[in-house]
Amino acid sequence: MAKGDRAAFEELYRRTSPWMAVRLRRRCADEQIVCEVMQETYLAVWRAAGAFAGAAAGGTAVGWLWTIAARRLVDAFRRRAHHAEPPPAVAPPPAVAPPPVAPAAEEEALAATVGGDVGDALRRLSPELRQVLQAMVLDGMSVRETAVLLGLPEGTVKTRARRARIAMRRALV
């Protein structure tokens, strides 16, 4: 692919796009954003294939691909928030309680994926621990891939994973 081989790119896309779409949908319920992120990700991969350091840097192609996709998803969320219309400046009546905060797309996907006592325990984890556990256990990423995805040192990922597992054990006893 780094040499411009379209067949190699098509094979990469054929093998990874279903998996990529599922992972993105776990984090975003908006199908349009998922499609845009998929397109941006594979375009970036095609353009930067020659820059992939591969096993020499201790990474995998799938980890590299997911890192690009995750960053593109964050960018899409930022664009959407930036272009959102600000609400009109009207003071709410004093006796009205604020509306309940809608759960994040990732929370909704997590609730649909993991239910029962395990899902409840997972949702009670702090966001930092839940992110690490979700990436490593639910998404099957390595410590290194999780560190790259979350922008954390590997030691921090290992510590958070251990703390999350301990908290989950306690919650499920």
Identify the band that residue 169 occupies on the pLDDT scale cut at 50, 70 and 90: confident
pTM of the model: 0.49
- Express each pLDDT in 109-156 by its tens digit: 444 445 566 677 777 888 888 888 888 877 777 888 788 778 889 999
pLDDT for position 112: 47
Q: What are the tokens at 161?
A: 């994973």
pLDDT for position 90: 54
Q: Is the dihedral of CA 73, 78, 84, 90 positive or negative?
A: positive
In angstroms, the CA 103 to CA 133 distance is 19
Closest C-alpha to 150, from 166, 168, 129: 129
- Express each pLDDT in 19-63 by its tens digit: 999 989 888 888 999 999 999 999 998 888 877 766 555 567 888
- Express each pLDDT in 55-102 by its tens digit: 555 567 888 888 889 889 888 888 877 666 555 555 555 555 555 554
Report the Cα 48 to chain-centroid distance in Å: 21
In angstroms, the CA 20 to CA 16 distance is 6
